[in-house]
A and B are shown apart, each in its own frame.
Chain A
Amino acid sequence: MKLAIFNGSPRRKNSNSTVLVEHFVDGFNRFSDYSPTIHYVADTKRINDNLEAFDSAEYVLIIFPLYTDCMPGVVKEFFEKICERKIYQSKKIGFIVQSGFPEIIHSIWIEKYLQKLVNRLNCDYLGTVIKGGVEGIKIMPPIMTKKLYKNFEMLGEYFANHQEFSPKIKAKLAKPYKMSYVRILFFKLFKSLGFTNFYWNMNLKKNEAFEKRYDRPYEISIATETK
C-alpha cells in the first residue's frame, strides 16, 4: 500500500501532530513492507512536491490541529490547490483532527466538510479520527500519554492490515464528546486549587510574561482618545 501522510500543523515537524504521526507510523510499519512518506503542508515552498506526492499516493492521510474550529488556513490553501486540479481517481483519503480542547464537540463540525471535500474529488472517504486534549502532550509525564500513544500505534497497525481506521479505536479516541458533570466538577475543583492553567502559567513564568498575562495591547478606548 502506497500511503502518503500530510502533516498540516503550522508548527510543521515540531508539532503535536508529528508526535501522533510517529506513533501511527510505528504501528503501521510493523505490518507493512512500505513505510509511508511524510509531507509538511506548511512547507508552502514545497507545494509542487506535496501536490505530486498527493497525486501519486494510493492512500492519503491528512492530519491537522483544529484552528479556530476548522482546518488551519495553510491546510485550506492546500485543499484549494488540490481541488483546482481535479485529476484524482480511486484514491482513498482519511483525516486525523486533533485539538487542545479536551472534548471533541469542538472538532466534529469540520468532519462534514472533509467528507464532502473527498466526494468533490471523486475519491473514497476513509473517515476522520478526532482526538481532543492533545496540547502539551510533549511535556506530559509518560504515564499520561501512554494510552494515547498506544492507541495511535494500534491505529497504525490496523490501518496497515485493513487499509482503514479501526472503528473501535476511532470511537475510543473520540471521547469525551462533551464534558460530563463529573469532569466539570473536577475542572472546578482544579480551578479552585489553581491547577487548571498550570501549563499556561508555567510557560508565562518561564518567559517572564506572567505579570503581563492580562494585557490588551490592541484596545483603543474612547476615553484615552479624547484626553
Chain B
Amino acid sequence: MRNNLVYYLILVRMKITVLNGNMTQENIEFERLINEFILKVSENNVVEQFKLNEMNLHYCTGCWSCWWKTPGKCAINDDAEKIFKSVINSEFVVFASPIYAGFTGSLLKKITDRLIVLLHPYIEIIQKETHHKKRYDNYPKIGLILQRENETDSEDIKIITDIYKRFAINFHSKLCYVKILETNTMEEIIHETCNI
C-alpha cells in the first residue's frame, strides 16, 4: 500500500479522467484520435476513460435528492457513480465529444448535468455573482476536445467555449483549453494536457 503512495507521488504527475461522449459506433476517426491521445498521455499520468455510449446512464431528473435527501449522493442507480468518483478525485477532466447540432453531444451533457451532485446547494457570492458552494476541497481543471461537424464554424466554437467557461466557474474549476481534432495537432493537445 505504501508503494502505491510513492508511485502516486513521484512517478505519476496527474490523475486524468476522460469523458468520451462519442455517440455513434461509426465515428471511428474520433475513437482513433481519442485512443491515441489517451495512450500518449498515459505515459506520465494515470488516465481513466469512460466511454459514455457503453455505459448505463440516465438523465438527471432534477429530483435534488443529492442536495436535500442524501447529501452529495445521486439517487439514480446506474453507472454514473463511477464517473463521479473518478472526476472528483482527478486533477484534470477532459470533456471529449464530436459536435452535434452545434454543441457537445447530449450524451456528454447527460453526465455533465449530473455533476451537480459534486456541488453544495448553498449559494455564495463569488466575483459578484451567485454560485453554489463547494462540496469538496478541490475540483479538477477541465479541457474540451471537439470534433467538427460539416457546418461547424468559428462562431460555433466560440459559443461552446463561452458556455464551458461559465460551467468552469460554477464548477469551481478552470477551462484550460478547447481543442479541435481537425485543427489542433495531437502533439499540441498532448503537450498542453501534460502541462496544465
Binding site for B on A (CB under 8 A): 9-11, 15, 42, 65, 67-74, 76-77, 79-80, 82-83, 101-103, 105-106, 109-110, 112-113, 116-117, 120, 178-179, 184, 187-188, 191, 196-197, 200, 203-204, 206-207, 209, 212-220, 222, 225-227
Contact = CB atoms under 8 A, between A and B. Distances in A.
Interface string B4-24: 110010000000000000000
Contact of B136 (A67, A117, A196, A219): A219
B184 interface: no
Given A207-B68, A215-B72, A216-B136, A73 B109 contact: yes
Contact of A69 (B69, B70, B167): B167
B113 A73 contact: yes
B163 interface: yes
Contact of B128 (A15, A83, A178, A200): A178
15 contacts: A10-B60, A42-B59, A67-B60, A68-B116, A72-B109, A73-B112, A76-B103, A79-B103, A101-B130, A200-B67, A200-B68, A207-B68, A218-B73, A218-B81, A218-B85
B103 A217 contact: no
Interface residues on B, range: 35 or more
Given A69-B164, A222-B5, 12 more contacts: A9-B62, A15-B62, A67-B113, A70-B103, A72-B59, A76-B103, A79-B101, A82-B101, A113-B103, A179-B125, A184-B128, A226-B2
Given A9-B62, A68-B167, A113-B102, A214 B135 contact: yes
Contact of B1 (A120, A178, A179, A225): A225
Interface of B: 1-2, 4-5, 8, 59-64, 67-73, 81, 84-85, 88-89, 100-103, 105-107, 109-113, 115-118, 120-125, 128-130, 135-136, 151, 155-156, 159, 162-164, 166-167, 170-171
Nearest to A119: B102
Nearest to B9: A222
Contacts of A204: 68, 71
A220 B70 CA distance: 18
A69 B71 contact: no
A218 B128 contact: no
B88 to A, nearest CB: 5
B21 to A, nearest CB: 10
Nearest to B117: A218
Contacts of B155: 116
A68 B88 contact: no
B89 A69 contact: no
